[in-house]
Amino acid sequence: MSESTTMSATRRVPLRTDLRVDGARLWASLERMAEIGATPRGGVCRLALSELDREGRDLFVQWARDAGCTIRIDQMGNIFARRPGRDPDAAPVLSGSHADTQPTGGRYDGIYGVLGALEAVRALNDAQVVTQRPIDVVVWTNEEGSRFAPAMIASGVFAGAYPLEYGLSRTDTAGTTIADALTQIGYNGTEPVGGYPIHAAYELHIEQGAILERAGKTIGVVTAGQGQRWYEVTLTGIDAHAGTTPMDLRRDALAGAAEIIGLVESLGQGAAPNGRATVGMINAHPNSRNTVPGRCFFTVEFRHPESDTLAKLDAALREGVTAIAAKRGLTAHVEAIFDYAPVPFAPECVGTVRSAAHTLGLPAMDIVSGAGHDACHLARIAPTGMIFIPCIDGLSHNEAEAITPQWAEAGANVLLQAIAASAGADEL
C-alpha cells in the first residue's frame, strides 16, 4: 500500500480512547522550561540560538533521551527526537513546534507544541504501546524570526522553500550568521535538512487569538493557514507651509494616506470573518508640526485563507490608491513585497483531529490560523494538521500570555490520539 493510500485511511483507524497524557507532568515540564529565560514580568526571553536557547534545547534533549528517544540534529539545528516504531523503515509521524521566543514573549507560544508532543511519547511509554511507525518530536530553529529573519526559516529549508545556504547565511543585527550561532551553541548538526518522506505531521499550539475563548471551545481544529500579501506604499505630494497654504491648494501626502488607511480598514471588514487588513507602519516627511507632509510611506498587509479573496483585495487596494492619489494631486507607488499563498491542511489530518476531539468529548470548532507556523511549510510536503487551544484574552507575543492546565491537558490528549492513530498504535 502506498504512503498516500495509507494516510488516507488514517481516519478509519480506531482511536485509542484508553490513552491519556499526564496533565500534571506536562504542566510541570512547561513550568520548568519557562524558568529558562524567565523575565521579571512573568514571560520568557529565549531568543533563537542564544545561550538561553541552548539551555532550553539541552533540557529538551535530556528529557527526550530519558523517554527512550534517539536524537538527530540537522544542519539548520533542527532537533528530532525519535521514538522507534515496529517498522524502522516506515515514514515517521512528526510532531513539535519551536522553543525560541520573542524578546518579550510568553511561556507557551511554540514550546507547548514541543512539550505536548514529548508528553504524548511519555504517555505511549506509560501505556506500553508500540506503534507501527516511528514518531519524531521536533524542535524547529528560529520560528519567531525575532533574531534572524525571515521567520520559520529552518522549517522552510526543511520543506524546500529556501536553500540551505540561504538559511545558514541569515544574520542578526550584530552580523552573526545562523551558521555561526549554531556553532557557538553546539547545535550545528550534520544530518541533511529534510529530503525524506513524512507520513503525517501535527503541530499543537496556543491560538494566539480570542476566537476559541469567546466561543467557549477548548479545541480548535485548524483547517488552513492564512495567505498573506504585504505592500509598501509611497505617496508623493508637495511640502508646504502649514500656515500659508490654503486647504484647496494642498497636496498633502499624509491626508491621502489617512484616506487609504480607511479604505484598507473597510476592505478588511468586507472580507470578514476570516479577512485581516492592517496598516502597521507609517512615516511622514518631513515630519514637522508646521509643514504639510509632501511624502508618506506606509505598509499594508492582507490575510485571508482564499487566494481569490486576496486577489480581489489586491485589485481593490490598487484601484483605491490610484483614485485617491488622483483626487488629491499625488503620485502613488504601490510595491508588493511578499505573497504567501494560503495553506490548506490535509483533510485526513484535519479529520483525525476532529474525530479525536469529538471522541474525547471536548468542545471543538473549525478555525483558520491567522498566524504563520512551521506546520504551514510542512503542509507543502506532507499531510499536516494543527490543533489549537485557547489563550486567555487572546494574548500572545506578550509576557502576560497565559493558558490553563486544563486546556494544556486537553490539547495534548487530542494530539496523543492523532499521533497514535496516524502511527498505528497497538498494545505491547
DSSP readout, 98-159? E----TTB-SSTTHHHHHHHHHHHHHHHHTTEEESS-EEEEEES-SS-SSSSSTTHHHHHHT
User: Are 242 and 291 contacting, i.e. CB atoms less than 8 angstroms apart?
Assistant: yes
Write out the three cell numbers for 226: 492564512
Across the chain, mean pLDDT equals 94
- In whole angstroms, give the CA distance from residue 91 to residue 197: 6
According to the model, what pLDDT value does residue 337 have? Answer: 87
pLDDT of residue 206: 98
Q: Model confidence at 428, in pLDDT bands (50, 70, 90)?
A: very low
pLDDT at 406: 98
Residues 408/409/414/417 CA torsion (nearest 10 deg):
140
Q: What is the pLDDT of residues 360-371, one digit of tens each?
A: 999 999 999 988
The pLDDT tens digits of the residues spanning 46-99 come to 999 999 999 999 999 999 999 999 999 999 999 999 999 999 999 999 999 999
Write down the CATH number for the domain with range 227-340.
3.30.70.360
pLDDT band at 426 (very low <50, low <70, confident <90, very high): confident
User: Which comes out higher in pLDDT, residue 3 or 78?
Assistant: 78
Q: Report pLDDT for 421.
A: 96
Polymer length in residues for the chain: 428
Write the pLDDT tens digit of every residue in 254-304: 999 999 999 999 999 999 988 999 999 999 999 999 999 999 999 999 999
pTM of the model: 0.86
> Which pLDDT belongs to residue 14?
65
> What cell numbers appear for 304 in the block?
485571508
Confidence category of residue 15, pLDDT binned at 50, 70, 90: confident
Contact (CB, 8 A) for 48 and 55: no
List all residues 6 or more positions away from 60 whose beta carbon is below 8 Å from its beta carbon: 33, 79, 81, 99, 114, 115, 118, 139
Q: Which residues pair with 296 in a beta bridge?
A: 235, 284
As given in the structure block, the three cell numbers for residue 153 are 526559516
Q: Above pLDDT 90, what percent of the chain?
A: 92
Minimum mean pLDDT among 13-22, 245-254, 255-264: which range? 13-22
Task: Return the domain boundaries, the chain.
Answer: 3-225+342-427, 227-340
Q: Residue 12 above 80 pLDDT? A: no
Question: pLDDT tens across 368-390, in order?
Answer: 998 889 999 999 999 999 999 99
Residue 140 burial (CB count, 10 A): 30
State residue 249 phi and psi, 5-degree precision.
-105, 0
The residues pairing with 203 across neighbouring beta strands, listed in sequence order, are 386
| Percentage of residues of the chain with pLDDT beyond 70 | 96
Our measurement of the distance from residue 67's CA atom to the centroid of its chain's CA atoms, rounded to an integer in Å, reads 27
User: What is the structure's pLDDT at 17?
Assistant: 80
Backbone angles phi, psi at 235, to 5 degrees: -110, 135
| CATH number of the 3-225+342-427 domain | 3.40.630.10
